[in-house]
Amino acid sequence: MVRHYLILGRVQGVGFRWFVHREASELALRGWVRNTDDGAVEVVAAGPEEDLADLRRSLDRGPRGCRVDQVIEHPLAADEAASLEPFRIEGAW
């Protein structure tokens, strides 16, 4: 399964991408996380349904210091997973 998440709230500048990377890596998911220009965090993740459900619970909670107002979730086509690599942070220096 492949999911796209958009996390809204105070989610930039609080270690949210690193938190997502750690959570997704522990679940052995493939995909990426990145900041958006409008202050949100975007995630694409692929893996078993139960692992994606675990990731979703983590996204709802976030790391200490953040405030998650909303998580918008969309399923993606299964073929979207073909190009995904081990989970990474995009745009991190």
Q: What is the mean pLDDT of residues 5-11?
A: 98
Set 3, 10, 17, 34: catalytic member: 17
Instruction: Provide the whole-model pTM.
Output: 0.94
Residue 27 maps to a domain: yes
Is residue 21 predicted with pLDDT exceeding 70?
yes
What pLDDT, on a 0 to 100 scale, did the predictor assign at position 61? 96
What pLDDT, on a 0 to 100 scale, did the predictor assign at position 92? 64
Is 57 one of the catalytic residues? no
Set 35, 57, 61, 88: catalytic member: 35
Q: What is the mean pLDDT of residues 35-58?
A: 97
Q: How far apart are CA 48 and CA 65, in angstroms?
A: 29
Q: How far apart are CA 5 and CA 23, in angstroms?
A: 14
How many structural domains does the chain have? 1
Could you tell me which residue, 92 or 27, shows the higher pLDDT? 27
What pLDDT, on a 0 to 100 scale, did the predictor assign at position 93? 55
Residue 64 maps to a domain: yes
Is 30 one of the catalytic residues? no
The CATH number that applies at residue 42 is 3.30.70.100
According to DSSP, residue 86 is labeled: B
